[in-house]
Amino acid sequence: MFTTGNTHTVSHHSYSLLVTHTHTHTHTVSQHSYSLQETHTHCLSTFAMLAWLALRVLGLGLCLCAAFLLGYVAFRGSCHYCGVEGEMVPAEDKPGTDHDNLVGGMYLGELRDMLKKYLQDEKIESTVRRVSRTTHPSGSSEGTTLAAEILETFKDLHMDHTWTDSHYATLQFPSRIQRNSLWMVDLQGEVLEEIPLEDPDSYCAYSATGTATGGMVYVNYGRQQDFDWLQSAGVSVVGCVVVMRVGGGVSYAEKVLLAQKAGAGGALIYPDPADIPQDPRRLGLNSYTAISEHVHLGSGDPFTPGFPSFNHTQFPPTQSSGLPVIPAQPISANVASKLLSQLTGPVCPRGWQGRLPYVRCVLGRGFTSADGRRIRMGVYNTMTPVLLNNIFSSLEGRIEPDQYIIMGAQRDAWGPGAVKAGVGTAILLELARTFSNMVQNGFYPRRSLLFVSWDAGDFGNVGATEWLEGYLSMLHLKAVAYFSLDQAVMGKTKSHSITFIKPLYLNSGAYSFTAFGGVPAMELRFNEDSRPYPFVNTPLDTSGRLQEVLGGRLGVVGRSLGELVGLMVLRLAHDHILPLRITTYSHTALQFSAQLNKHSAELQARGLSPQWVFSARGDYSRAAETLQEAILNSDVQDETMTRIYNTRMMRVEYYFLSQYVSVVETPFRHVLHGRGEHTLSALTEHLSLLTSDPRRFNEALFRRQLALFTWTLQGAANALSGDIWNIDNVF
């Protein structure tokens, strides 16, 4: 289990690049282009292929020449050549070379053609239907049946190894005895009215249980800035039940934690029509449907913090600090409308107004009735020990079998889960089948390929996290990259924009791999930019609705996504030197140095010097550039040197895991992508207080934060330099 009690995000230091394409092209894949939303944590320059292949596969003619901070370098220089009909050629590749290195008797170009030949639309479509035929949460008979089917599918593919990785974890489910409920009560606590929950099976896993009674306050999205605004306006939420909208860039877990910190007694979360389409005639959510999501601010089993849940291993009684202590419950738009239409109090600030019918946006705390009524919520979920099964299958590398390229997808779902579990599972199985066929027809992967079906993803990536915890000590030495296929296809778009880079978020299937494990990881998806897919985590997430959203082209779009992932995996499995770009983090450190410079006067007045940060940044930049140059000038046939270079590059993310905080107390130790006071985002936010609110600036805390970041950066520079005689000044 991982947990965090801190709500810092990495968005302050990750960037999005929106490329607008003004020409109209059609392609056999679809009559529309697709929005590729790629969420990343590592400087994989192979993700240059992501940009290239997205344009080629989806028929967009664009010469994109840019370097993406924290993601990948699109090309190692200017775009010197852009081919005809929208084909993009990397700058260092002469037209037609196509990286044709001969490996195992086949060229990379031949392997790409083979991949495209074997990928099949029909199998993806049929697998999505099969996976989403019924609700299949972890521990259910339906979930167990599906796991057995996937295991047999892997076995039938003639893989080199297939096995099951089992864990016992504590999951939370709705009580079979007492349903979660809402009531209006009088001052004496007598029930005046029960408010039916129209979607009674919806719930927030890992909510605190019990009742909460009090006034009601509308808090917009429940973000930190929303609670800050309420405090500045003199609106207290202490002891109240707060009502929050889905979205706003924060997870349910973050919303509930912030409400808890503000003193709220309970939390209700609803989908507002302004954020979630709710017209069933236009493939929108029904107004009587709620959206479920877990509220554990962390990942993994919250009752084995920092340890894997193997074989009922007995640990001292403990639980995650990320578990909330107030009850939380999702409600439908109809229920929210009924509640908020009775609310009185100050008028909402601009931008807080949703689109609920018959609701005048006010903040609360009271109700229009003169009887002093209050709201009471009751949550009666129960904790249940469940046997989890992660299913693995692998194709062993022929030259470096101890280096793994991992692809994974969540298998379980509270509802049918066409998007939540079906699409990812379908693409995973199709990639496994395709690569197995390629091996049988002459492809010899240099490195091993792992295909994983994860259990208990809906509860906070529990299956994947428990596996990470069990193999933490060795994964950074063996895992080349992790590709999350979760929710990989969520819609289509009629626009011609491609969003390449966004920060990984806590609920992402890839987040823990980097933030905790130090493994390069990414998640990508086709996503409609103007109309979000509204059915995730509801009983309406069916293959039929997904097909309607995609215009009947589920198999085709799924195949396109699979082709993108497959082509990147091919490159990673094929090249002698891993195509990792290790210099991009130098720019991140440079940006922070510039911010320190802006505050140099204030820092010096407090006796604080940024000198050591500047020194560490310089050391890292020099080490990264020196290694990059050595790689460019290396002989790729020298197996010893390529192994040394690859090992040093693979460990870059691991180098940025802070060695100065506890893995149990602060599991997401990555200083750039993690969560906690040790991270660059926390340090930057604290630094900004020097000008925005000097009274809140904590000099002792800032000194500690600065020291932790500096020494982590210096440690990364030292490790990247290689031998110790390359680190210190040697005469």
Q: What is the DSSP letter of 434?
A: H
Q: Which residues contact 144 (CB under 8 A, 6 or more apart)?
A: none
Q: State the pLDDT at residue 436.
A: 97
Alpha helices in 312-373 (DSSP H): 333-340
Average pLDDT, integer, range 238-248: 97
Work out whether the CA dihedral 393, 46, 475, 40 comes out positive or negative.
Answer: negative
Instruction: Measure the CA–CA gap between 457 and 412, rounded to whole angstroms.
Output: 6
Report percent pLDDT > 70 for the chain.
Answer: 82
Name the average pLDDT for the chain: 83
Average pLDDT, integer, range 603-608: 87
Band (pLDDT 50/70/90 cuts) for residue 504 is confident
Assess whether pLDDT exceeds 50 at residue 16.
no
Contact call for residues 170 and 302 (beta carbons, < 8 A): yes
Q: Please state the pTM of the whole predicted model.
A: 0.88
Average pLDDT, integer, range 10-32: 31
Band (pLDDT 50/70/90 cuts) for residue 591 is confident
Instruction: Measure the CA–CA gap between 511 and 212, rounded to whole angstroms.
Output: 33
Instruction: Measure the CA–CA gap between 311 and 167, rounded to whole angstroms.
Output: 6
Instruction: Measure the CA–CA gap between 558 and 589, rounded to whole angstroms.
Output: 38
Q: State the pLDDT at residue 22.
A: 30
Radius of gyration for the chain, computed over Cα atoms and rounded to the nearest angstrom:
26
Strands 497-499 and 447-454: unpaired
Q: State the pLDDT at residue 579.
A: 82
Instruction: Say how many C-beta atoms besides its own lie within 10 A of residue 217's C-beta.
Output: 27
Phi, psi (rounded to 5 degrees) for 574: -105, -45
Contact call for residues 570 and 98 (beta carbons, < 8 A): no
Consecutive H or E run containing 261: helix 252-261
Instruction: Measure the CA–CA gap between 99 and 81, rounded to whole angstroms.
Output: 15
Which of the two residues, 286 and 476, has the higher pLDDT score?
286
Consecutive H or E run containing 167: strand 161-173
Instruction: Say how many C-beta atoms besides its own lie within 10 A of residue 723's C-beta.
Output: 6
Cα–Cα distances in angstroms (integers) from residue 623 to residues 18, 612, 645, 649, in the given order: 31, 16, 13, 11
Q: State the pLDDT at residue 104.
A: 55
Instruction: Measure the CA–CA gap between 127 and 318, rounded to whole angstroms.
Output: 40
Average pLDDT, integer, range 532-540: 94
Question: Tens of pLDDT along 403-461?
Answer: 999 999 999 999 999 999 999 999 999 999 999 999 999 999 999 999 999 999 999 99
Average pLDDT, integer, range 254-278: 96
Q: State the pLDDT at residue 528.
A: 72
Question: Tens of pLDDT along 451-473?
Answer: 999 999 999 999 999 999 998 88
Nearest to 138 by CA among 511, 382, 454: 454
Question: Tens of pLDDT along 22-43?
Answer: 333 333 333 333 344 443 334 4
Question: Tens of pLDDT along 84-138?
Answer: 333 333 333 333 333 445 555 678 889 999 999 999 999 999 999 999 999 999 9
Which of the two residues, 30 and 171, has the higher pLDDT score?
171
Which of the two residues, 354 and 20, has the higher pLDDT score?
354
Average pLDDT, integer, range 309-317: 62
Q: State the pLDDT at residue 199.
A: 86
Band (pLDDT 50/70/90 cuts) for residue 526 is confident
Instruction: Say how many C-beta atoms besides its own lie within 10 A of residue 59's C-beta.
Output: 16
